[in-house]
């Protein structure tokens, strides 16, 4: 970190221009955060405890829940602290930690969602060879690649951002430390850095999104060749939840990172960021479990075992 900025606190402006809104947001964000903790922790525990869920789909889902849990936790506690009172500061070290962790986890989720699409493609387009294709070693490798790609991209991009001189600029026009906002604090020409950020974002967002699109294109063609409503319902049940999660996550994050200097207002940009950092991690467990008979059955089996132990 440059010497001229080390030790200085950043001021997260956030929603401070609307103090009444801050009080409402504090309650809403707190509720969503608690639901995120409960929902994602429940999915991790259920997929670990029930042997029937020891399949590639739920292995990837448990990692998605872990990513969402850590991603939200890297942002929300600081956000709640800033929303509850006039103090909006975050230390330079705290800002760096938040950027590194949240960016790494967000990048990991982009790749992990693509991995889950490949899993659904194998399940529907290659059902007879699914077990052979998605064997445990490959699943672990794919998850490892997702984590490594997120951490690797962040180590490069975040380090470059914090090496830029800021000439005493400390006011961040956002509620968290993220790259587009930090880039605006620099007092030198950052066009080269903006191009680097754009290219890195294209790789981590559009490449996984392209893989997801191709996977679901193949799934759609395979399903349309089979004129059976039962097969269509099964495919929709298998892929619908993942498609909805992809739409919610990529829809908001693409606007923030692909078009950071677009015509969208600063307030709308903050709400889009709030959506994918707070709301989406809360909705993911509900989307994946609300109509999921496997997870509901696993919960009943686990509770049934607990009840039988109590009776014994």
Residue 116's pLDDT band (boundaries 50, 70, 90)? very high
d(CA 172, CA 283): 28
Q: Compare 113 and 265 and report the one with higher pLDDT.
A: 113
Q: What's the rounded mean pLDDT across residues 162-166?
A: 81
Q: What would the mean pLDDT of 86-91 be, rounded to a whole number?
A: 84
pLDDT at 204: 82
Exposed/middle/buried for residue 229 (C-beta within 10 Å: 0-12, 13-18, 19+): exposed
For 98, the token pair is 């938040």
Q: Which residue(s) pair with 172 in the sheet?
A: 12
The residue ranking higher by pLDDT, 311 or 227, is: 227
Q: Is the pLDDT of residue 111 over 90?
A: yes
> Could you read off the pLDDT of 196-245 as tens digits, one per residue?
777 877 788 888 999 999 999 998 888 888 777 776 777 777 788 888 88
* pLDDT for the residue numbered 269: 79
pLDDT tier at 14 (50, 70, 90 boundaries)?
confident
The superfamily (CATH) of domain 9-311 is Rhodopsin 7-helix transmembrane proteins (1.20.1070.10)
Q: Give the domain ranges of the chain.
A: 9-311
With 80 as the cut, is the pLDDT of residue 49 above it? yes
Q: What is the pLDDT of residues 264-306, one digit of tens each?
A: 456 777 888 899 899 999 988 888 887 677 787 887 888 875 4
């Amino acid at each position: 970190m440059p010497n001229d900025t080390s030790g200085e606190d950043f001021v997260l402006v956030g929603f401070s221009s609307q103090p009444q809104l801050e009080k409402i947001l504090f309650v809403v964000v707190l509720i969503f955060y608690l639901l995120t903790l409960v929902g994602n922790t429940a999915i991790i525990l259920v997929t670990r405890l029930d042997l029937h869920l020891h399949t590639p789909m739920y292995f990837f889902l448990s990692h998605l829940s872990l990513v969402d849990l850590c991603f939200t936790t890297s942002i929300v506690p600081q956000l709640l602290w800033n929303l509850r009172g006039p103090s909006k500061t975050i230390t330079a070290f705290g800002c760096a930690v938040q950027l590194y962790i949240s960016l790494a986890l967000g990048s990991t989720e982009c790749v992990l969602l693509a991995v889950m699409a490949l899993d659904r493609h194998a399940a529907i387009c290659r059902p007879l060879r699914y077990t052979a294709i998605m064997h445990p070693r490959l699943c672990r490798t794919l998850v490892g690649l997702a984590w490594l790609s997120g951490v690797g991209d962040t180590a490069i991009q975040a380090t470059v951002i914090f090496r830029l001189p800021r000439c005493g600029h400390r006011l961040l026009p956002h509620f968290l430390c993220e790259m587009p906002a930090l880039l605006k604090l620099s007092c030198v020409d950052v066009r080269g850095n903006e191009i680097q950020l754009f290219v890195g974002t294209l790789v981590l967002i559009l490449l996984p999104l392209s893989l997801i699109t191709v996977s679901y294109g193949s799934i759609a063609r395979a399903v349309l060749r089979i004129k059976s409503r039962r097969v269509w319902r099964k495919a929709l049940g298998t892929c619908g939840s993942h498609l909805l999660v992809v739409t919610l996550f990529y829809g908001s994050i693409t606007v923030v990172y692909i078009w950071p200097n677009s015509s969208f207002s600063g307030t709308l940009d903050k709400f889009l960021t709030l959506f994918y950092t707070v709301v989406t991690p809360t909705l993911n467990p509900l989307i994946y479990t609300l109509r999921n008979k496997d997870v509901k059955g696993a919960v009943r089996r686990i509770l049934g075992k607990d009840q039988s132990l109590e009776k014994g």
